Amino acid sequence: MTTAPRASTTDRGRDPDDLLPSGVVSTRGDVPPLGRAARNRTSGIGIMATRRPYVGGNWKMHGELAAAVELTENLVAGIGDTVLKIDISIFPPFPYLQAVGHALGHTAISLGGQDCAAHLEGAHTGQTSPAMIADLGGKVALVGHSERRHELGESDAVVAAKARAALAADLQPVVCVGETLAQREAGNALQVVEKQVRAALEGLSATQVGRVVVAYEPVWAIGTGMTATPDDAQSAHAMIRALLGELYDAQLAGSVRIIYGGSVKAANAAELFAAPDVDGGLIGGASLKVEEFSSICQFASSS
Ligand code: PEP
DSSP string of 243-270, one letter each residue: HHHHHS-HHHHHHS-EEEESS--HHHHH
pLDDT at 38: 59
Quick check: 113 and 94 in contact, CB under 8 A?
A: yes
Lowest mean pLDDT: which of 41-50, 108-117, 164-173, 233-242? 41-50
Q: pLDDT digits over 53-85, tens only?
A: 999 999 999 999 999 999 999 999 999 999 999
pLDDT at residue 25, rounded to an integer: 38
Residue nearest to atom 4 of ligand 1 (CA): 284
Residues making up the chain, counted from first to last: 303
- Section 256-270 average pLDDT: 97
User: What is the C-alpha separation between 128 and 6, in angstroms, rounded?
Assistant: 37
What percent of the chain clears pLDDT 70, i.e. is strictly above it?
87
Q: Does residue 46 carry a pLDDT above 90?
A: no
pLDDT at residue number 7: 32
What is d(CA 284, CA 281) in angstroms, rounded to the nearest whole number? 10
Residues with catalytic annotation? 145, 217
Say what the pLDDT of residue 1 is: 30
Q: Is the CB of 287 under 6 A from ligand 1?
A: no
**Confidence (pLDDT) at 50:** 87
Q: How many Cβ atoms sit within 10 Å of the Cβ of residue 83?
A: 21
Contact 269 CB / ligand 1 (< 6 Å): no
What pLDDT does 171 receive?
Answer: 98
pLDDT, residue 41, reads: 72
Q: Is the CB of 288 under 6 A from ligand 1?
A: no
CB of 24 closer than 8 Å to CB of 210: yes
Q: Whose CA is nearest to atom 7 of ligand 1?
A: 284
Question: Is 246 or 2 the better-scoring residue by pLDDT?
Answer: 246
Per-residue pLDDT tens over the stretch 220-234: 999 999 999 999 999
Q: 263 CA to middle of ligand 1, Å?
A: 6
Q: Does 218 contact ligand 1 (Cβ within 6 A)?
A: no
Q: What is the DSSP letter of 70?
A: H
Average pLDDT score over residue span 83-97: 98
Percent over 90 (pLDDT), the chain: 83
Instruction: Flag whether pLDDT at 172 surpasses 70.
Output: yes
What is the position in ligand 1's atom list of the atom closest to the CA of 215? 3
Characterise 275 by phi-psi region: left (phi > 0), alpha (psi -120 to 50), beta (else). beta
* Whole-angstrom distance, CA of residue 44 vs CA of residue 238: 6
DSSP letters of 37-65? --EEEE-TTS-EEEE--EEEEE-TT---H
Comparing 48-57, 117-126, 286-295, the range with the smallest average pLDDT is 48-57
User: Does the C-beta of 23 come closer than 6 Å to ligand 1?
Assistant: no
The reported pTM is 0.87
Average pLDDT over the chain, rounded to whole? 88
What's the pLDDT score for residue 26? Answer: 34
Model confidence band, residue 92 (pLDDT cutoffs 50, 70, 90): very high
> pLDDT, tens digit, for every residue of 194-245?
999 999 999 999 999 999 999 999 999 999 999 999 999 999 999 999 999 9
33 CA distance to ligand 1 centroid (A)? Answer: 32
CA distance 280 to 269: 8
Mean pLDDT of 149-166: 97
Give how far the C-alpha of residue 199 lies from the chain's centroid of Cα atoms, to the nearest Å.
Answer: 18
SS3 71: helix
Atom of ligand 1 minimally distant from the CA of 264: 8
Checking if the pLDDT of 29 tops 90, the result is: no
Report the pLDDT value the prediction gives residue 270, as an integer from 0 to 100. Answer: 97
What pLDDT is stored for residue 37 in this prediction?
A: 65
- Residue in 207, 201, 208, 222 with CA at minimum distance from that of residue 281: 222
Beta carbon of 222 within 6 Å of any ligand 1 atom: yes
Alpha-carbon torsion (128, 146, 72, 80), positive or negative: negative
Tell me the CA–centroid distance for residue 144 and ligand 1, in Å: 13
